[in-house]
Amino acid sequence: MTICTLIRTRGNSVKLQLRTSSPLAAGAVLGGLLGQRLFELVRAGFGRENILGAIQAALLTVIMLLVMFYICNKGNLPSKHIVRFPAVAAIGLCLGLTSSFLGIGGGPYNVAALFFLFYGCQNRSKNSLYIIYIIAFSQLASIASAAAANSIPDFAPVDLASMTVGGIGGALLGAAISKRLDNRGVEKLLKVLALFIAAVDFYNIFRFAIQ
């Protein structure tokens, strides 16, 4: 999905600013590696996949609820515009680590974090491009780390092919829908998505707990 989206946005007039994108990418790479390592340590420490799954679901539930809080109250929360290299790199590290440890792209909470810390609500296209940029670097670093440690789980090739096709199709469909929505429409969609993810993860907490 990430690669497809980056290719699709190559011709856009919105460009990444190296002053912000470079430290974000560097932090996301380091965060991706640390998140993968943290995942392995937690899994080895508990020794049971269901406990790790419950921890991930609980963290993601909290994150989604915080995203909902931000969306509903963003008018009363002043947006920042952080530009200093160490601070931007630290943000990239935190977002990359969280994405890698939770095993997700991190779209909804990256949206909220970058809107609050960098651009506010006035530039949706630029915000989206930076989100994809962070996800790409953090997930590539996580995959490379897992491959180097030979810790990639076995899976059926047909499952990988199906998810790849679905991911690309979803990226293209999402882009088409996004073009038809204004900021208010995107905000409503993000609220629904955050609530849905929080509900699913809340259910997963109990599902993993009783295993």
Query: What mean pLDDT, rounded, does the chain reach?
Result: 76
- Of 102 and 2, the structure prediction assigns the larger pLDDT to 102
Residues with Cβ within 8 Å of residue 140, at least 6 apart in sequence:
29, 32
Give, in order, the Cα–Cα distances in Å from 97 to each of 12, 63, 90, 198.
29, 14, 10, 20
Does the structure show a pLDDT above 60 at 113?
yes
Of 24, 51, 39, residue with least CA distance to 119? 24
> Do residues 108 and 193 make contact, with C-beta atoms less than 8 angstroms apart?
yes
Most confident of 83-92, 108-117, 170-179: 83-92
Distance between CA atoms of 60 and 134, rounded to whole angstroms? 18
Does the structure show a pLDDT above 80 at 39?
yes
Look at 6-20, 44-58, 119-133, 152-166 and tell me which has the smallest mean pLDDT.
119-133
Convert the pLDDT of each residue in 121-132 to its tens digit. 445 555 666 667
Report pTM.
0.71
Distance between CA atoms of 120 and 113, rounded to whole angstroms? 10
Residue that is written with structure tokens 């993968």 in the block = 36
Tokens at 206, concatenated = 């109990």
Of 130, 109, 103, 143, residue with least CA distance to 15? 130
pLDDT band at 69; cut points 50, 70, 90: confident
Of 168, 175, 103, residue with least CA distance to 139? 103
Tokens at 120, concatenated = 């506010």
Tokens at 185, concatenated = 């429409």
